[in-house]
Amino acid sequence: MLESFKIRAGEGKCIVEAMVVKCGKDINVAIGGGEKYHIGASAVAVPRSDYKNEVKRTASTSVICVQGHREDELTYKAAKYLATALDCTVVAAMGIHIDNITDQEYCQVIDNVNIVLDNIIKKYHEL
- pLDDT per residue rounded down to tens, the chain (127 residues): 789 999 999 999 999 999 999 999 999 999 999 999 999 999 999 998 876 666 668 899 999 999 989 899 999 999 999 999 999 999 999 999 999 999 999 999 999 999 999 999 999 998 8
Could you give the domains of the chain? Answer: 2-126 (3.30.230.90)
Q: What is the secondary structure of the chain as a DSSP string?
A: -EEEEEEEE--GGG-EEEEEEEETTEEEEEEEEESS----EEEEEEEEE-SS-TTSEEEEEEEEE-TT---HHHHHHHHHHHHHHHTS-EEEEEEEE-TT--HHHHHHHHHHHHHHHHHHHHHHHH-
pTM tops 0.95, yes or no: no
